[in-house]
Each structure stands twice: as structure tokens, then as C-alpha cells.
């Protein structure tokens, strides 16, 4: 927890917050704060600054906050990801949040096991938890949006084109001939398949909509490594986001 | 397991192997192979090709192998990494192996907990396991070398300069002003600190030896995300390795 992430409900006046949940435990047990200590704080989807501990005990901490700074720039990268195994999903959601992704679409695909959609980790609450952990790690306040699309065909036919808007459209595909482009538009929509890849029908749906199939080389990456790797390589070209990915 | 990784001891003649351990279990239980099936196979530190199942039961599988291909190019990147938490170490060793790193130096640092060095995950056998899993995932045969240096000072003063040789020398440091260089030598030595970063004394030791401090931006990455991210960004500039990193 590199950032104390505050919610609107924490505020008892314009510059005072009271903290009671796992964040209080962290203040007490992990970083062992005392009155007078200051730490980095931010308001979810708001400013970043500092918080000074006024009082703290095992029930509640009261802090004075000053949040005049701004969150770091987001990445103008829409991620479309075939739903990974639930255990891996948690780490991937944290990693993408840490890297600055703000828009994630988890989609069905032929090689995504149907049972994954029943996982408790896909509840809004569990997803939210991972996003918060990512923001606290990265010192960011802007909460990513995660959308679920269990059925590939309606997603590809009815939603994908709008989601990608006027961004550069890329789909990672192990057998593609092209590498990651060294130049892209100001925004990118990147699709990454499941372990084993998208099937030809699915790749066709992407390419019909102007998605260029790109390869990361001869190595077969895990989805987790592929996500961090592709995002990091594309991030070099991306301007910090000054406008929405969608047009 | 995208590759059946063979050991010299598996060979019973020049083109025949017998498999008995967890690889046999995988053939029987996970991918459910039958005589006549072929799969990708490679010899550790050797060629890559295919293997055909001749006979298989619950005790042993015999396969005919043909390994005339070569492993994918390695990355000419020496990784120097402050020893991470043991649980994270396993995933990091897999990820670096998947990405093609062949030389990893795990080092002590002020902010590395001393107890990490006692972890059973640091045994040669446990490290080897993770490297093998990485090779099987990436379809690679060249086993990385992992070196342990528990004491920072003798490492920095007696070994670091030789290890880095004539490669581009970089140390990741959150408060650095410079970003990742867009051009590097044909080889890079990259140092990544622990959670919380290297302390000033340690950074000084690196910079004295010509390591340029580079930042990944305002976000605080986990070590795991930083490793994949930095490697992937540097890999763009690196030629596939045609000679050793050391001069």
C-alpha cells in the first residue's frame, strides 16, 4: 500500500477523513503510524496529496488530508482479454491497473472454459478489490473500468467496433508475421487471446474490423507475461491519455 | 507444457527416449497422448524438433525423437535482481525464462529481508524446477544460469564490473530522471532493486561503475511487473544474442 486510497464516504468534513476498515489495520499493524505521521493519500477518481494522522487507535483513525495534486497519466490503451483462469485473473487485473490501463474488456472465446464465468473472482466486488490493490501499489486514483462479455459473437459483431473507435487496432496472435508496430496512433485497442490463442474464426472477426495481427516472436508467453509485455512495449509509443479512447 | 523437454539421461539410443517422471503423467493425464501422436520436443541445451509416441502406459513412455531444429534466440540481457520474496521469486524466474533471459544474478540489498536467503525455494533444485517450467512454456531449451550473491558489497566491488562487461549498464530507480534509452548496445545489464528500491549507497555503487539510473515513470510497479515491463521494453532494442554478454 503505497497510497492511502480514500472514498467519498470517508470524509467527515472537507479536509478530514475517518478510516476504519483494512486500511486502519494496515496503518496500525503494517506501517505502525502515530499521530503526526504523514503519508501519501488520494481520493478515488480524484486528487492525490498527503494525509496527516491526527488520532489513531484500534477502532478508528482520523486524518487531515490535502489533495491538491493529480493522479499520474493513464495509458490510452483499451485491453480486450479472453477471460483468463480465475487465479491468474486477479494478478492480471492488478498488473494492468499498476501499468495504467483504464479500460478492460474480458471476453469469451472458444478456448475459454465456460466454468471460468462462474468464478466468485468475477463478482463486481472481487474485481473491485484487485483494482484497488493495483491503484494503491501504483499511487494512482483513477479506477479502471472492467466490462464482461461472455459471448464472443455478439461482442465482436455489435460492440467491438465502437469500443475500438479510432484507435490503432491490434490483436496478438502467435502465428502472425508482423511484430509490434513501432508507431501507433495516440490510442491503441489491444486484444489478447486465451492460452492456446484465438481460433481462426475469432481472428477473422478481429481482422475484418481492421485489427492487425501481431506476434511477440517465437516464444509462447503465458497470458500473464504477454499482458505485461505487450502493454509495456506499446506504452513507449502512447501519449499519456488526454482524451478518451472512444471517439 | 508446450514442449517435452528431454534430458541426456532420457536417451536409450540416438533417437529413442524413455520418459517416466511428471512428464509421463502429463502425457497420460493432461494431454492424453496415444501411440502415433507427435509433440514438440527439445533436448535441454540442445536442439528442438518433434517426438512420436511409440509406446505408452502408466510406467513409461517410449518416443522416437528428431531434433534438427534450433532453440529460439536468447535475449542478450543480464538481469541483476535484488532477491524478491520467495513466493514472487518463483513466478519471476518463470517469467524471465519465458522472456528469454539466460543470466540472472540474485543479490542482497539493504531492503532484502535476510530471511529470504533461507527459503527452500532458493535451493538449486527448486530454482531448476522453475527454469524448466519456463522453458517448457516458451518452447526453449537453453537453461538460464542463476547466480546467488547474498552480500551486496563484495558483489558490487568484486564481481559486478566483470558481469556487466561491455554491455549497456542500467539500474532501475524510481526517482531517476532519465527514461529507458531507446538505443542500447547489443547487450544490456539491467539491475532492479527490491520493493522500496535500492538505498542511495547501493545506487552510488552502481553509478560508480557506469550504470545509468533509469525510471519507468511515476507509477510504483511491483517487482514482478517491473521485471516483465523493463525486459520487454529493452528487448525491442536488443539483437538476438549471437555472442556472450560478458566480454
Three-state SS string over chain B comes to CCCEEECHHHEEECCEEEECCHHHHHHHHHCCCCCCCEEEEEECCCCEEEEEEEEECCCCEEEEEEEEECCCCCEEEEEEEECCCHHHHHHHHHHHHHHCEEEEEEECCCCCCHHHHHCHHHCHHHHHHHHHHHHHHHCCCCCCEEEEECCHHHHHHHHHHHHHCCCEEEEECCCCCECCCCCCCCCEEEEECCCCCCCHHHHHHHHHCCCEEECCCCCCCCHHHHHHHHHHHHHCCCCECCCCCCC
Strand order of the β-sheet with B75-82 is B145-149, B101-107, B75-82, B188-192, B168-172, B212-214
Q: In this structure, are A39 and A92 located in the same domain?
A: no
Which residues in B lie closer than 8 A to residue A72 (C-beta atoms)?
217-219
Taking CA atoms, B64 is separated from A148, B11, B15, B40, B246, in Å, by 45, 10, 6, 12, 38
Chain A contact for B241 (CB, 8 A cutoff): no
Q: What is the pLDDT of residue A242?
A: 39
CB contact under 8 A, B232 and A236: no
Q: Could you give the strand order of the β-sheet that contains B48-56, starting from the edge strand earlier in sequence?
A: B4-6, B38-43, B48-56, B61-69, B16-19, B11-13
Contact with chain B for residue A99, Cβ under 8 A: yes
Say if residue B105 is in the same domain as residue B61.
Answer: no
Of the partner residues A138, A219, A220, the one whose CB lies closest to the CB of residue B220 = A138
- Residue B28 belongs to some domain of the structure: yes
CB B103 within 8 A of CB B167: no
Asked if residue B244 belongs to a domain, the reply is no
Domain hosting residue B36, numbered range: 4-69
pLDDT at A16 exceeding the cut of 80 = yes
CB A2 within 8 A of CB B220: yes
Question: Do B144 and B97 form a contact (C-beta atoms < 8 A)?
Answer: yes
Q: Does residue B43 belong to any structural domain of this protein? A: yes
Position A240 scores a pLDDT of 54
Mutation target vs A (from B75, B196, B218; most A CBs, 10 A cutoff): B218
How close does chain B come to A45, measured CA to CA in Å? 16
A126 and A227 in one domain?
Answer: yes
Residue A89 within any structural domain of the chain: yes
What pLDDT score does B247 carry? Answer: 32
Interface contact A140-B100, CB threshold 8 A: no
Contact A219 B95 (CB under 8 A): no
B98-113 pLDDT tens trace: 999 999 999 999 999 9
Distance of CA B45 to the CA centre of its chain: 14
User: Would you state the pLDDT for residue B240?
Assistant: 53
User: What pLDDT score was predicted for residue B246?
Assistant: 36
Nearest to B219 among A98, A230, A236 (CB): A98
**CB proximity B232 to A under 8 Å:** yes
Q: What is the pLDDT of residues A46-84, one digit of tens each?
A: 999 999 999 999 999 999 999 999 999 999 999 999 999
Contacts of A228 in chain B (CB under 8 A): 225, 228-229, 232
Mean pLDDT score across all residues of chain A: 92
The tens-digit pLDDT sequence of chain B (247 residues) is 899 999 999 999 999 999 999 999 999 988 889 999 999 999 999 999 999 999 999 999 999 999 999 999 999 999 999 999 999 999 999 999 999 999 999 999 999 999 999 999 999 999 999 999 999 999 999 999 999 999 999 999 999 999 999 999 999 998 788 888 777 768 999 999 998 899 999 999 999 999 999 988 889 999 999 999 999 888 877 755 433 333 3
The pLDDT of residue B182: 73
Nearest CA in chain A to B232: A229
For residue B182, list chain A residues with Cβ-Cβ distance below 8 A: 236
CA pair distance B37, A94, nearest whole angstrom = 39
Q: Residue A247: pLDDT above 70? A: no
Could you report the predicted ipTM of this complex, rounded to two decimals?
Answer: 0.88
User: A223 touching B, CB under 8 A?
Assistant: no
Q: Is residue B9 a part of any domain in this protein?
A: yes
Does A38 share its domain with A115?
no
- As a whole number, mean pLDDT of residues A176-181 equals 81
Q: Do B233 and A232 touch (CB under 8 A)?
A: yes
CATH code (residue A103): 3.40.1280.10
Largest CA distance in chain B: 61
SS (H, E, C) chain A: CCCEEECHHHEEECCEEEECCHHHHHHHHHCCCCCCCEEEEEECCCCEEEEEEEEECCCCEEEEEEEEECCCCCEEEEEEEECCCHHHHHHHHHHHHHHCEEEEEEECCCCCCHHHHHCHHHCHHHHHHHHHHHHHHHCCCCCCEEEEECCHHHHHHHHHHHHHCCCEEEEECCCCCECCCCCCCCCEEEEECCCCCCCHHHHHHHHHCCCEEECCCCCCCCHHHHHHHHHHHHHCCCCECCCCCCC
Contacts of B31 in chain A (CB under 8 A): none
Residue A246 has pLDDT above 70, yes or no: no
Whether B150 is in a domain gets the answer: yes
For residue range B212-245, what is the model confidence (pLDDT) as tens digits? 999 888 899 999 999 999 998 888 777 554 333 3
Enumerate residues 6+ apart whose C-beta is below 8 A from B29.
none
Residues A62 and A80 in one domain: no
Give tens-digit pLDDT for A140-167.
Answer: 999 999 999 999 999 999 999 999 999 9
Pull the grid cell for residue A151.
459471448
pTM of the entire predicted model: 0.91
| pLDDT for the residue numbered B237 | 72
Tell whether B40 and B122 lie within a shared domain: no
Please check whether residue A142 lies inside any domain of the structure.
yes
Cell numbers that stand for A214 in this block:
501481431
Which of A98, A220, A233 has the CB atom closest to B139's CB atom?
A: A220
- The grid coordinates listed for B173 are 530507480
Which of B100, B175, B229 to substitute to test the interface with A, most A CBs within 10 Å? B229
Task: Count how many domains chain A has.
Answer: 2
Determine the pLDDT at residue B185: 66
- Quote the cell numbers at residue B225: 511487473
- B149 and B84, same structural domain? yes
Q: Are residues B100 and B177 in the same domain?
A: yes
**Nearest neighbour of B222 by CB, restricted to A72, A98, A180:** A98
Query: Is there a single domain that holds both residue A190 and residue A225?
Result: yes
Please check the confidence at residue A244 and state whether its pLDDT lies above 60.
no
Q: Under an 8 A CB cutoff, do B233 and A230 touch?
A: no
CB A205 within 8 A of CB A82: no
Residues B40 and B86 in one domain: no
In this predicted structure, which of A27-36, A52-61, A128-137, B4-13 has the lowest mean pLDDT?
Answer: A27-36
Which of B20, B37, B69 is the endpoint of a domain?
A: B69
Q: Cα–Cα distance between B137 and B153 in angstroms, integer?
A: 36
Query: Which chain B residue's Cα is nearest to A1?
Result: B220
**CA-wise closest residue to B136 among B90, B96, B98, B91:** B98
Taking the CA atoms of chain B, what radius of gyration do you get in angstroms? 20
Instruction: Select from A174, A228, A233, A237 the residue whose CB has the most chain B CBs within 10 Å, as the one to mutate to test that interface.
Output: A228
Torsion of CA A42, A43, A45, A49, to 10 degrees: -30
- Choosing among B3, B182, B219, which should be mutated to test the A contact, i.e. which has the most A CBs within 10 A? B219
| Most distant CA pair in chain A, distance | 61
Would you call B219 and A72 a contact, using CB atoms and an 8 Å cutoff? yes
Mean pLDDT of the region A104-132: 96
Residues A26, A123, single domain; the answer is: no
Of A69, A85, A100, which one is at a domain's C-terminal end? A69
CB spacing of B233 vs A233 below 8 angstroms: yes
**CATH number of the domain that residue B39 is part of:** 2.40.240.20
Amino acid at each position: 500500500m503505497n497510497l492511502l486510497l480514500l472514498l467519498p464516504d470517508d470524509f467527515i468534513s472537507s479536509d478530514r477523513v475517518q478510516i476504519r476498515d483494512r486500511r486502519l489495520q494496515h496503518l496500525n499493524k503494517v506501517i505502525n503510524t502515530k499521530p503526526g505521521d504523514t503519508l501519501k493519500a488520494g481520493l478515488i477518481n480524484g486528487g492525490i496529496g498527503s494525509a496527516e494522522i491526527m488520532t489513531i487507535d484500534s477502532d478508528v483513525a482520523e486524518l487531515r488530508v490535502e489533495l491538491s495534486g493529480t493522479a499520474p497519466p493513464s495509458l490510452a490503451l483499451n485491453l480486450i482479454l479472453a477471460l483468463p483462469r480465475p487465479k491468474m485473473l486477479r494478478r492480471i487485473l492488478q498488473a494492468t491497473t499498476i501499468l495504467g490501463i483504464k479500460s478492460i474488456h474480458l471476453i469469451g472465446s472458444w478456448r475459454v472454459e465456460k466454468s471460468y464465468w462462474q468464478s466468485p473472482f468475477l463478482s463486481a466486488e472481487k474485481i473491485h478489490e484487485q483494482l484497488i490493490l493495483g491503484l494503491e501499489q501504483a499511487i494512482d486514483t483513477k479506477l479502471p473500468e472492467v466490462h464482461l462479455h461472455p459471448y464472443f459473437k455478439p461482442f465482436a459483431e455489435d460492440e467491438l467496433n465502437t469500443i475500438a473507435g479510432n484507435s490503432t487496432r491490434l490483436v496478438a496472435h502467435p502465428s502472425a508475421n508482423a511484430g509490434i508496430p513501432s508507431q501507433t496512433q495516440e490510442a491503441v485497442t489491444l486484444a489478447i487471446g486465451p492460452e492456446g490463442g484465438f481460433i481462426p474464426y475469432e481472428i477473422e472477426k478481429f481482422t475484418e474490423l481492421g485489427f492487425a495481427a501481431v506476434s511477440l516472436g517465437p516464444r509462447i508467453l503465458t497470458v500473464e507475461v504477454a499482458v505485461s509485455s505487450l502493454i509495456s512495449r506499446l506504452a513507449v509509443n502512447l501519449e499519456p491519455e488526454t482524451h478518451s479512447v472512444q471517439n
